Amino acid sequence: MEDTMPKAWSKKDERQYEHHKDSELDTRTVAELRNRARTLRIPGRSRMARRQLIAAIRRQGG
């Protein structure tokens, strides 16, 4: 019987996914980043610049 389950991701697949996930933040507007930061309950988000928001979101794993 043929195995119908998908193969586990290779390490390369994992790295590519992480890169894609991270690059998605770079295309978001400040308003979208602030909404995401609010969801993650990041303090001080309203005073943060775009790059600071991205860094804070990445630190939270979001």
Please report whether residue 6 resides in a domain: no
- At which residue do the structure tokens 């770079």 appear? 26
Tell the burial category of 28 from Cβ atoms under 10 Å away from its Cβ (0-12, 13-18, 19+): middle
Q: Provide the domain count of the chain.
A: 1
Please report whether residue 4 resides in a domain: no
First-to-last alpha carbon distance for the chain, in angstroms, is 40
Q: What is the per-residue pLDDT across 3-50, written as a single tens digit (0 to 9) for each?
A: 554 566 667 656 655 655 557 888 999 999 999 999 999 999 999 999
Please report whether residue 39 resides in a domain: yes
Asked whether the whole model's pTM tops 0.85, one would answer no
Please report whether residue 5 resides in a domain: no
Q: Which tokens belong to 51? A: 């790059």
Please report whether residue 45 resides in a domain: yes
Positive/negative CA dihedral, 7, 8, 12, 13: positive
In which domain, by residue range, is 25 found? 11-59
